[in-house]
Structure 1
Amino acid sequence: MVEVLIGVGLLVALFVGFNIGGSTTGPAFGPAVGAGAISKFLAGVLMSIFFAIGAWTIGRRVVNTLGRDLVYDPGVFTIETSIVVLFFIGGALFVGNYVGVPASTSMTAVGAIAGLGVATGELNWTVMGEIAIWWIVAPLVGFWVSVMIGRYVYPTLNSWIAITQTEGALVEFDRSGVLPVPQAGPNTTRREFFGTIVLVSIGCLMAFSSGTSNIANAIAPLYGAGVSMNPLILAGSAAVAVGALSIARRTLDTLGNDITDLPLTAAIVVAVVASAIVIGLSAIGIPASFVIIATMSIVGLGWGRATRTATVTGSIRGEDETNVSVGALAAEEPGEEAPDIGEEEPEDIPQASDLFNPSTTGRVILMQNLVPVISTLGSYLTFWALFAFLW
């Protein structure tokens, strides 16, 4: 009977891992896919590889934290309770993936475990409070840093980086040797090739960071119940790979195309801001809300670019100094000269909606808050009822 329960628990854990792959691939590689740097398939492959590396190395520490430290008595993680917790984690994440919105796996998993802890009176409120505070602060930091970059710094960065997207493949493979060697495409400039390498490398780093924190969300309850860690990490990583290569296509579209128009320079900015915050949180032992930080960075940069204003000194329609909306300049391509302020044709000026999609953003933020709430309340009410009336 115990073997059957462990088998059921493992199947549910694999379902959670599948949804983690679908949920976290978008924030890691959505900017690169949206900018046309890599394909969705290659994004899934890279996500699978670097997630597994992060899970096998640093991820063990986070598994121990969620499986042992978040509750006072790890004994509350029986095989039966672990199955219920994983069911709510996987079910809530599946809701987000089904509608194409990547939900925070850390918030969803910690919420489900917290529901168990509250229902049994074993939740470590000190640890929970520290995690919750950082979950509020970190996305706000990512959002406002990206807003400031988009509003005041982006044009300068764009001119420095000067990455233009040319026609044709960015990267081709030289197959004359034993192993294929990547090289720049026939029309790819040196700066474009370098920028693409940087962007994809940052995505790989974010995938690694996701593995260090998110593998615990799939296997920590079973580890707390006494199942060996190494087989769980291997099985969880394999399930993440399946999700990254399949259901992640929806979240890659949402994060790469639907929220904001994301050229290559902007994609690099988003990846740097998000990965820096995630790594910083991991360094102090906080399970990072990877999806929320990356999403808010994308939203912040898009909003900052769409609402940027500039103070122009000179004689413009008889005024010495005028504050002008420069949505058109927020979307300029390197090497193009913007028309003089006031001389643009109305149809040539991009509107804010061209750079920042409020309706999609509202849907993303709503679902990213709703999914952890579903997980937490569902877990708490279920365990409250079970312990009150059955156990």
Structure 2
Amino acid sequence: MVASAVLIGGVAVAIFVGVNIGGSSTGVAFGPATGSGVLSMRSASALMAVFVLIGGFTIGTNVVETLGSGFVPAEYFTPAASIGVLLFIGFGILFGNLVKVSTSTSQTAVAAVVGMGAALGVLDWRTVGVVVLWWILSAILAFWVCAFVGRYLYDAVVATLDLESRNTKLAELVVIAISCYMAFSAGASNVANAVAPLVGSGQFGMLTGVALGGVAIGAGAFALGPRTMETVGEDITDLSLEASLIAEMIAASVLTGLSWAGIPASLAVVLTACVIGLGWGRASRRVPLPAVVRPEGLTERERSAWAGDQLDLFHPGTTKRIVITWIATPTVAGLVAFGAFEAAQRLQLLA
């Protein structure tokens, strides 16, 4: 009876986490599509639910293995410990959803697991180092690739495709396809955040756990996704269809590659790095490259053009709020998890 109650509790908490992940990730995957008027919120949520499951079953199992046993040996994920970790993940992501920001679900999940491992003295610091290194490299890569495209190639891409004037329906289908690719990459990366502790502890098999996480994320796409789609689609940048295509394609490719390698990575961080990089590159395209490094070398005309482009392409205030939330959410989740597991270990509550 007690074991059944614990299992039910674990399932309930996993669903809670998955719903919050769905709310956060849907904004990142479909915000540009809904913000540009290509999709309705309900249609975006439905597509998110389908492609998250596909991504979870095809590539997401690699990330489940890393999060469920790579940082902390699987035997330490007792039923009580699994529920505790999932609660910390879920409340951290819920905080981001409440302030209408797509938080880094993977970073929050990793921080909670790391807090547990550090408190119990069983953390694999090598895995932590590898994952954190890839977080930094992926954000840098996403930013500079998009900045290069925005500065040197964006106008040529727009002129070549000319999607809006040639065939608006084609343009819409392209953006929807890339958004679905984003949802696929979100499933590959984020399903693990909802169920990895339960799979690691042996309470669920891999496929059962992925199915549970995918369905819960799909439910979150309908329940909470519209809030974060509004923020990503409208507040950060004024995205054209071409800009949506570029940013999402690059972000989804980076995240899918990391998930294939088993690295829990952040869809929110990678995509927003792409959006900001693309916006920065476009804002600097009418300014000589040396002056970008040393703005004091700008003429009055160039300074005015750059200031106008920056204002039109991305909103520094919203970007600052998102970055602060990214840093605060996993930090708080990790510290709270460390303190809670340290106390639980002393009180012998983890058996």
Instruction: State the TM-score, normalized to the length of structure 1.
Output: 0.81
Q: What is the DSSP-based 3-state SS (H/G/I as helix, E as strand, rest coil) of the residue aligned with 1:91?
A: helix
Amino acid at match of 1:48: A
Superposed displacement of residue 158, structure 1: 1.4
Alignment of 1:147-158 (within 5 A): 147-158=147-158
Give the distance between the partners of 1:76 and 1:353, measured in 2 at CA.
50
Stretch moving more, 213-222 or 148-157: 148-157
Runs of 4 or more above 6 Å deviation: none
Give aligned pairs, total.
Answer: 337
Give the equivalent residue in structure 2 for 1:180. Answer: none
Give the equivalent residue in structure 2 for 1:122. Answer: 122
Percent identical across equivalent pairs?
A: 41
**Cα RMSD between the aligned structures?**
2.0
Please, which runs of 5 or more residues in structure 2 have no aligned partner? Answer: 289-298
The answer to whether residue 203 in structure 2 is matched with residue 203 in structure 1 is no
Please give the per-residue CA displacement for 1:13-61, whole angstroms capped at 9, x wherever unaligned: 1000001101111111111112211111111110000001111232222
Q: What is the DSSP-based 3-state SS (H/G/I as helix, E as strand, rest coil) of the residue aligned with 2:163?
A: coil
Give the distance between the partners of 1:225 and 1:260, measured in 2 at CA.
42
Give the equivalent residue in structure 2 for 1:31. Answer: 32
Please give the per-residue CA displacement for 1:211-232, whole angstroms capped at 9, x wherever unaligned: 1121111001111222122333
Higher strand proportion: 1
Give the equivalent residue in structure 1 for 2:292. Answer: none
The answer to whether residue 226 in structure 2 is matched with residue 257 in structure 1 is no
Give the distance between the partners of 2:225 and 2:22, measured in 1 at CA.
7
Give the distance between the partners of 1:60 and 1:353, measured in 2 at CA.
42
Amino acid at match of 2:219: V
Amino acid at match of 2:50: I
Amino acid at match of 1:84: G
The answer to whether residue 204 in structure 2 is matched with residue 228 in structure 1 is yes
Instruction: State the TM-score, normalized to the length of structure 2.
Output: 0.90
Give the equivalent residue in structure 2 for 1:335. Answer: none
Higher helix proportion: 2
Indicate conservation of the 8 Å contact 2:78/2:201, yes or no: yes
Give the equivalent residue in structure 1 for 2:340. Answer: 382
Q: What is the DSSP-based 3-state SS (H/G/I as helix, E as strand, rest coil) of the residue aligned with 1:325?
A: helix
Change (3 A) 1:305 1:327: farther
Indicate conservation of the 8 Å contact 2:62/2:260, yes or no: no
Superposed displacement of residue 206, structure 1: 1.5
Superposed displacement of residue 280, structure 1: 2.3
Give the equivalent residue in structure 1 for 2:330. Answer: 372
Give the distance between the partners of 2:61 and 2:130, measured in 1 at CA.
20
Amino acid at match of 2:110: V
Indicate conservation of the 8 Å contact 2:65/2:262, yes or no: no
Change (3 A) 1:327 1:257: farther
The answer to whether residue 204 in structure 2 is matched with residue 239 in structure 1 is no
Indicate conservation of the 8 Å contact 1:105/1:217, yes or no: yes
Indicate conservation of the 8 Å contact 1:309/1:324, yes or no: no
Give the distance between the partners of 1:146 and 1:193, measured in 2 at CA.
25
Indicate conservation of the 8 Å contact 2:20/2:93, yes or no: yes
Q: What is the DSSP-based 3-state SS (H/G/I as helix, E as strand, rest coil) of the residue aligned with 1:260?
A: coil
The answer to whether residue 256 in structure 2 is matched with residue 279 in structure 1 is yes
Larger Rg: 1
Give the distance between the partners of 1:237 and 1:159, measured in 2 at CA.
39
Superposed displacement of residue 109, structure 1: 0.7
Give the distance between the partners of 2:334 and 2:204, measured in 1 at CA.
26
Give the equivalent residue in structure 2 for 1:40. Answer: 41
Q: What is the DSSP-based 3-state SS (H/G/I as helix, E as strand, rest coil) of the residue aligned with 1:26?
A: helix
Stretch moving more, 381-390 or 77-86: 381-390
Please give the per-residue CA displacement for 1:137-180, whole angstroms capped at 9, x wherever unaligned: 1111111222222222211211112133xxxxxxxxxxxxxxxx
Please, which runs of 5 or more residues in structure 1 have no aligned partner? Answer: 165-188, 312-321, 331-348
Superposed displacement of residue 288, structure 1: 2.1
